[in-house]
Structure 1
């Protein structure tokens, strides 16, 4: 009898320790160590104009990458600083950004300062984090083929990227450079290059959208059969795809601040519902569909900030949506496996409820940040 009681107490202790660890880990990792939404501090933008023998690149990059040239340490390269360190900047940039036309490197490169440009709605609020440079390349012969290797990223940041728009002969191509995808053709770029760029951007967006991840996890927290979970997630996918498309096409426009506030509230509501329900509700897919409409507006921010031209918007939109779905399916499968494992414990309901409490706390923090601070 005593042995059974000790064994039960020991098992209960192990379960509670696991629950506390999950709860604290959730708060520490998602609340303190990561931002409430994807941010653009590591983003660069390049507008590239190709004409005959010349390439002009209007480059907007985090000033931290040029800290050695920022004499006054104001996180912005001034005209004077760019002029003073022009030779050093040209050498530095020629190593980080390599352009070759039919395997021939440019003859000259001139780096100069340029006026500020709109980078994104987030960065307009904090323009002192980035600097604007004009890179002018010239070849002796007309350019027919052009390859670019871009390696100017914030060190150690996997989400760092450069969003490039290439203009030539009335055509506009969009390319996303990342630490694992540094090479691209700038002239007659294959459609597959654009597709893979935006699929990768969509995957990255879902995995760095920690609020969307918590919403998905909370939706599935009550468990259920795999078929039921697929039904719930499919409803969420269809609805957020609708509003994502409408927002990117500028058919629907909602202030991003209100979107982010409602997203925070939706996470809190789903997590709170997990506290009083023991089994999944058949109507939860309808709830997932409704909230998915709001989350789609949140997903759209990444593409809206790129100001994509209409001539290839459909390809970018479909590719980006596919990337989001790939990331989302990965999260759902991982959550399903974890929930199935939890069912081995007699206190799995308690663990799931404690996790839901942690999610409620996080949603409250995000709500306060978005409603009263940001």
Structure 2
């Protein structure tokens, strides 16, 4: 009976992991940009300009041929609908007064392969009196986008702040200054959310930790990953180091394949610290894609980057603890080695599927 109970426990744990990896398998191949909107908001004396880039899926009614790109003909045909839809979902009020003038101008900017699913507009708002207290309500989200969010840069005179709009936090008020705490917690939450919905990063971490070890060893591995991705995250956001997003995403998928496959044939993995550091440099470029489009001053950049990175680390620590205690549960259980190898095989297959999807999409 005791062995039967242990077998059922291991089987249920394996079933949970398999279901989770199956859920990951149907996740988008590149999720770092697909559901992200970016807004550059400039507040002047009596006017506000917003340069807005959004996933075309939130404007699906204007995409007649469903190619996720709005052509000149589609923009002209649906001009009135677009203006109404944008005015209803991005609402600006100055001392409870709506703008007296609102215009929408499509911006047909060149699109790279990895960002050909977005559309850009210039939204202009104007009031007869000087702006003293402004509120912005952003609600241009699609329920089909898992990580729906809008990264906004707000410039008012010589002051710049960043904010993240989400379906849960879609309203900000701008008085003379925008509190730094609002920016800090906004990007902290973004970092946590990004790691927990970044299935490729999670799978890579789990593959690294799967061979086991004590908590100190696991934390050293994750620390190497943290240092590496922090370096390239900073360099990429500063535009010192840049690589095409599809290439980065493809290498991230290969990193999962390699580490998971190594779990099958190597009994000792003392070199894993350096391997983790090397692949962490690539993963940092993946993290950076979500921040690179923000216009930032130096001080503002440090706050956004630091709070985002802290959020990522909090998420990673949570994942490490979950994996550590999950592995402890598996130790000395019948079939434990078979289950570990089975999970590694599933990870190899998942990484190969992602690599094929990403490489094909990028034309590599």
Decide which structure has the larger Cα Rg and report it. Answer: 1
Greater shift in the superposed pair: 193-202 or 74-83: 74-83
Q: 1:48, 1:164 within 8 Å by CA — same for their partners in 2?
A: yes
Gaps of 5+ in 1: none
Deviation at 1:308, TM superposition (A): 3.9
> 1:56-105 deviations in whole A, cap 9, x for unaligned?
22333334434445667665566777677666655544442222223x22
Deviation at 1:354, TM superposition (A): 0.8
The partner residue of 2:106 within 101, 114, 121 is 114
Measured in 2, the distance between the counterparts of 1:119 and 1:69 equals: 18
> How far apart are 1:17 and its partner, in Å?
4.5
Write out per-residue CA displacement over residues 163-212 of structure 1, whole angstroms, 9 at most, x where no aligned residue: 22223324332221111211223452111122122222222221222111
Per-residue deviation, residues 215-257 of structure 1 (Å, max 9, x unmatched): 1101111112112211221121112212222222233334444
Q: 2:321 aligns with which of 306, 315, 333?
A: 333
Q: Deviations over 1:116-168 (max 9, x none)?
A: 23688722xx2xx4444333222231012212111111125441111222233
- For 1:202, the equivalent position in structure 2 comes to 191
> Any residues of structure 2 matched to 1:301-312 within 5 Å, and which?
301-312=289-300
Structure 1 Cα separation of the partners of residues 346 and 155 of structure 2: 48
Alignment-derived partner of residue 347 in structure 2? 359
Over 3 Å counting, the alpha-carbon distance change for 1:173 and 1:97 in structure 2 is same
The question of whether the paired residues in 1 share the 8 Å contact of 2:6 and 2:333 is answered with no
Structure 2 match to 1:97? 90
Tell me which moved more, 353-362 or 80-89. 80-89
Aligned to 1:112, the other structure's residue is in SS state strand
Partner of residue 231 from structure 1, selected from 213, 217, 220: 220
- Partners of 1:322 and 1:193 lie apart in 2 by 15
Match of 1:265 in 2: 254
Whole-Å separation in 1 of the counterparts to 2:104 and 2:50: 11
- Residues 94/301 of structure 1: CA separation in 2 closer, same or farther (3 Å cut): closer
Q: How many residues align?
A: 361
Give the TM-score of the pair, scaled to structure 1. Answer: 0.84
1:242 correspondence with 2:231 = yes
| Residue 55 (str. 1) matches residue 36 (str. 2) | no
Query: What corresponds to 2:127 in structure 1?
Result: 139
Structure 2 residues without counterparts, runs of 5 or longer: none
Q: CA RMSD in A?
A: 3.1
List aligned pairs for 1:260-299, cutoff 5 A: 260-277=249-266, 281-299=269-287
